[in-house]
């Protein structure tokens, strides 16, 4: 059968391509646990003869403060974005309000613009609030910039809620805020998780504002620190790769264990599905 042949050949193509797509990360993991001598041999795909765990200790030592800073900034910023954004998403989808569409349009536009467009005013704003090089400054700016996308994602999920749910609640005398907290939030946990994942990964991976609004290592998030590791002389490829692995562990873990949420957040945020 022609169909079977097509099926087999397409699976073969996919296997080869998947192997190619995985190879960089395989090589990265492999190199990250090799000793300097073995790295110098350049047989990057060969499994290491000796495990050099000290690479990870060295990289972790360099990245530790950055990781803590990233956690301190990203977690509250994500929480605020999802909380405030979902309230707006609730309003825009479930209230009778004429300008909703117009507001929604400006939210969509704002959520896609590159940060360079507002980089100078952001720096001015944060420095005039005396928040340069503080956690509060970065959290504030990340919340402002990510509320739109979180509104967008949560609104997409709320639209799928049956209107009857809200009607029934209203007839029972349920006030909007009670409805939001007691009914809407519990039934839309998957949507909120999706929004949280997207916003979290976006803030954690962000680089431009992280370098522009911090000075010195005290407050700096982990991405700029990883970038500095690349420029420094001490870092050989194996240490750099170990650093890249450490930094990626968290987003990759989210991707692997919560991939359905990751994808549905991505589709709702970027795909308008």
Partner 1 sequence: MKYNKAYGFIFLTPVVLAVGIIYMMIFWNLVASLTQWQGMKATWQFAGLQNYFDLISLRRFWVNVKNNFLWLFFFIIPTTLLGFILAYLFTNLGRIEKVFRQFFLYPMALAFIVTGTLWSWMYDPSSGLINSLLRAVGFDTTRLGWIANPNGAIFCMIFSAFWQYVGFSLVIYLGAIRGLSYSMIEAANIDGAGHIRILFQIIFPNVGHGTLICTTMLAITTMKVFDLVWIMTGGGPGIKTEVLPYMMYRITYSQHNIGMGASTSIVILILAAAMVIPYSLWALKKWVRE
Residues numbered 88-127 forming contacts with partner 1, rule: CB under 8 A: 88, 90-92, 94-97, 101, 103-110, 112-122, 124-125
Q: How many residues bind partner 1 (CB under 8 A)?
A: 98
Among positions 73, 196, 244, 268, the unique one binding partner 1 when judged by CB under 8 A: 244
Nearest CA to 243 out of 46, 58, 39 is that of 58
193 lines the binding site for partner 1 (CB under 8 A): no
79 lines the binding site for partner 1 (CB under 8 A): no
d(CA 2, CA 229): 54
d(CA 162, CA 102): 23
- From 50-58, 61-69, 80-88, 186-194, give the range in contact with partner 1 by CB under 8 A: 80-88
Least distance to partner 1 from the beta carbon of 87, Å?
A: 4
- Nearest 5 degrees, angle CA 27-CA 57-CA 216? 100
C-beta of residue 253 within 8 angstroms of C-beta of residue 236: no
Least distance to partner 1 from the beta carbon of 161, Å?
A: 12
188 lines the binding site for partner 1 (CB under 8 A): no
Q: Mask 220-239, x = binds partner 1 (CB under 8 A)?
A: ---x--xx--x------x--
- From 54-62, 131-139, 187-195, 240-248, give the range in contact with partner 1 by CB under 8 A: 240-248
Least distance to partner 1 from the beta carbon of 51, Å?
A: 20
Which residue's CB is nearer to partner 1, number 133 or number 205?
Answer: 205
d(CA 82, CA 151): 8
- From 36-44, 59-67, 71-79, 131-139, give the range in contact with partner 1 by CB under 8 A: 36-44
Contacts to partner 1 from residues 154-173, by CB under 8 A: 159, 163, 166-167, 170
DSSP string spanning 157-223?
Answer: HHTTS-HHHHHHHHHTT--HHHIIIIIIHHHTHHHHHHHHHHHHHHHHT--HHHHHS--STTT--HH
195 lines the binding site for partner 1 (CB under 8 A): no
Buried b (16+ CB within 10 A) or exposed e, 171-210: eeeeebeebbeebbbeebeebbbbbbbbbbbbbbbbeebb
Contacts to partner 1 from residues 123-152, by CB under 8 A: 124-125, 143-145, 147-148, 151
C-beta of residue 73 within 8 angstroms of C-beta of residue 138: yes
Contacts to partner 1 from residues 48-77, by CB under 8 A: none
Contacts of 173 by beta carbon, 8 Å cutoff, 6+ apart: none
């Amino acid at each position: 059968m022609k169909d079977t042949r097509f099926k087999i050949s397409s699976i073969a193509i996919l296997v080869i391509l998947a192997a190619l797509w995985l190879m960089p990360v395989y090589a990265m993991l492999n190199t990250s646990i090799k000793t300097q001598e073995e790295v110098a041999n350049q047989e990057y795909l060969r499994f290491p003869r000796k495990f050099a765990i000290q690479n990870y200790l060295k990289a972790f030592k360099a990245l530790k403060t950055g990781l803590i800073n990233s956690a301190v900034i990203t977690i509250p910023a994500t929480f605020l974005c999802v909380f405030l954004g979902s309230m707006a998403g609730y309003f825009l989808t479930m209230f009778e309000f004429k300008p909703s569409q117009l507001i929604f349009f400006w939210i969509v536009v704002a959520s896609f613009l590159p940060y360079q467009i507002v980089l100078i005013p952001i720096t001015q704003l944060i420095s005039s609030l005396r928040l340069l090089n503080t956690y509060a400054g970065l959290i504030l700016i990340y919340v402002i910039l990510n509320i739109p996308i979180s509104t967008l994602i949560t609104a997409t999920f709320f639209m799928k809620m049956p209107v009857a749910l809200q009607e029934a609640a209203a007839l029972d005398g349920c006030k909007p805020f009670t409805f939001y907290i007691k009914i809407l939030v519990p039934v839309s946990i998957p949507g909120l998780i999706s929004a949280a994942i997207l916003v979290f990964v976006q803030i954690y991976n962000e680089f431009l504002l992280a370098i522009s609004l911090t000075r010195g290592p005290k407050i700096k998030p982990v991405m700029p620190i990883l970038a500095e590791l690349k420029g420094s002389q001490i870092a050989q490829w194996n240490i750099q790769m170990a650093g890249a692995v450490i930094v990626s562990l968290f987003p990759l873990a989210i991707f692997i264990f919560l991939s359905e949420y990751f994808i549905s957040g991505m589709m709702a945020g970027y795909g308008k599905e």
